[in-house]
Amino acid sequence: MLKNNIICILTTILILFAFNAKAQDIEQVAKAPILTTNGGVSLNQIGKYSTKNNAEDPYSYYLSGNINANVFGVISFPFSFAFTNNKITTSLPQPFNRFSMSPSYKWITTHIGYASMSFSPYTLSGHDFLGGGVELTPNESIKISAMYGRLNRSINPDTTGREPSFRRMGGGLKIDYMNKKIDASINVFKAKDDINSIEFEKNDSIIIKPQDNFTGSIKINLKLIKNLSITTEYAASFLNHDISKNQSSNIIVDNSGDMSYYYALKSSITQTSKLGQIGASYERVSPNYKTLGAYYFNNDFENITANFNTSIKKCINIGMDVGYQRDNLNGQKVNSNSRLIYSGNINTRINKRLNIGVNVSNLKSYVHITDIYDKLTQTNQFQNLDTLNFTRLDLTTSSNVSYIIKASKKQRQNINMTFTYQKASEQQGDDKRYTGSEIYNTSLSYLFSIIPQRLNISTTLNYNRNEMPKMKMNVGSINLSIQKALFGNIKTALTATYSKSANTKETLSDIVNIRLSGGYSIKKKHNINLNVAILNNSGIQGHKTMYSVNLSYNYMFSIIVKRKETKFNF
């Protein structure tokens, strides 16, 4: 039913705007090539050998490519794909092998295959789906977006430790209207799990429940007075947490199970003048607010903020935000929190050589913290693709100093120093290992370049300290990188890294990572790269040496089919 409704809506929209479309520019079409195609294909092969047995495959390959085709200069057909034999374990029910195509004709753009679209932070926000989407922009005042597809694939419960999931289908529609005085948009999104998509044995305990969700939001931006903007968005989410029993025939949302209603509101006002920009905002998200169109969502909070941005003599940029935040809006929690929230940044250019920047913030947000051990032991760019360590940060302080020692046509030298302090307050899910942890990171880097010889040498010192409730960890590393171009088309690089990590009781690891790479380019169309890495790791888990070879080939092409001739550019 949902699929048929979406198709009917899209068909009606296309018919209505077809009558209002402008006449085709016949002269432009007559002069344009019949077909213009460009793109590329990339093949990466990785071989590994380790002195200690592990679960990693000794050989893996990654094949990817993209093609952009244009017919008569008006119809575009972009297409991309990716395929690998390496089955990456992940808790997200999305496959790694995927393809996508986004053909367009004038003001019509479509998405076919794997894609992602965003309607609103409270409804559909960057969730991947397998299906189709369309974006219509018949003129500068109207934009219509729609999508339908599979959000999650079904995963049956098994003994491999993968989290089961129902097959989830979803669709949505968004309409935007824009002019000089007002911008308005309305969007709706519907997602529902198929209760018959996975099988449970009689003795299995159902750890997940099929859900049904209908969300929508209205956003208005008023520009009635010059340099003054007022924006308001209201969103509502109807979520049924369990539709496994008696299903109703309600098209909007199944109300036969555990039904809940949530809302979110955000308003802001901004005034721009010669002194800078000043504004205020109010945001309220009800407890347990959730939409199936987003992977992660923060709820049960109320924010009142004010902000100011200005520039002094075009060399000092200042930005400040201050406000009040509280949670437990309905009084359902045992503990309530309220605090003053703030953020500020100053970036200044002292002179042509020296730049200084400072940033302080205690705003909560979802971020990705890179595991420094995984980063140092990585032998190729395809490792750790499924890492999803998200955490909320209470406080972040960072500073950066950059100084150019010498800058000429023949030589360049510069030095850069950064310091970051982070305090984490909550870890994803039930994993509390980092609750209340404090992270200190300092780095000092130096770059030396001889431009005529195309030689670049850089070195970096890095120190990381992580203070957790029951343990303290220190990681220090030094990195040396040398890059040199030979004979115009040959590029070589040598990178060496030494790292040592330890806690309060013992040394955890001593890591030496050496990488040698070379690349050769033929007519800027064919690129061959060879990377050899040696990783030596000694620590509490024993001694292991890993050898890795990565051979990659990249090919770029273009084809132009003209009226009387065909031109191939390989």
The pLDDT value recorded for residue 155 is: 82
The pLDDT value recorded for residue 381 is: 55
User: CA 395, CA 397: separation in Å to the nearest integer?
Assistant: 7
- Look at the block and give the residue holding tokens 């404090």: 438
379 exposed, middle or buried (CB, 10 Å; 0-12, 13-18, 19+)?
A: buried
The pLDDT value recorded for residue 33 is: 80
* Spatial contact of 300 and 325, defined as CB atoms under 8 Å apart: no
Closest alpha carbon to 225 in 180, 292, 284: 180
Tell which CATH architecture fits domain 1-31+93-197+208-294.
Beta Barrel (2.40)
User: CA 252, CA 213: separation in Å to the nearest integer?
Assistant: 9
The pLDDT value recorded for residue 29 is: 60
The pLDDT value recorded for residue 341 is: 84
3-state secondary structure of 511: strand
Model confidence over 450-477: pLDDT tens digits?
Answer: 998 889 999 999 999 988 777 888 999 9
Closest alpha carbon to 474 in 438, 501, 444: 501
The pLDDT value recorded for residue 354 is: 94
Closest alpha carbon to 87 in 382, 310, 359, 336: 382
Closest alpha carbon to 342 in 395, 298, 300, 270: 395
Question: Both ends of the chain: CA-CA distance in Å?
Answer: 48
The pLDDT value recorded for residue 228 is: 92
3-state secondary structure of 504: coil
- Look at the block and give the residue holding tokens 């939409």: 291
Model confidence over 140-150: pLDDT tens digits?
Answer: 899 999 999 99
The count of residues in the chain is 570
Q: Where are the domains of the chain?
A: 1-31+93-197+208-294, 42-70+364-570
The pLDDT value recorded for residue 386 is: 44
pTM score: 0.67
User: CA 332, CA 299: separation in Å to the nearest integer?
Assistant: 13
User: CA 425, CA 468: separation in Å to the nearest integer?
Assistant: 11
Query: How many other CB atoms sit within 10 Å of the CB of residue 21?
Result: 12
The pLDDT value recorded for residue 520 is: 92
Query: How many other CB atoms sit within 10 Å of the CB of residue 334?
Result: 5
The pLDDT value recorded for residue 226 is: 86
Q: Which residues of the chain have pLDDT under 50?
A: 2, 6-7, 9-10, 12-25, 88-96, 202-203, 365-370, 373, 385-391, 427-434, 566-568, 570
Cite the beta strand spans of 451-503 per DSSP E.
Answer: 455-468, 471-486, 490-503
The pLDDT value recorded for residue 22 is: 43
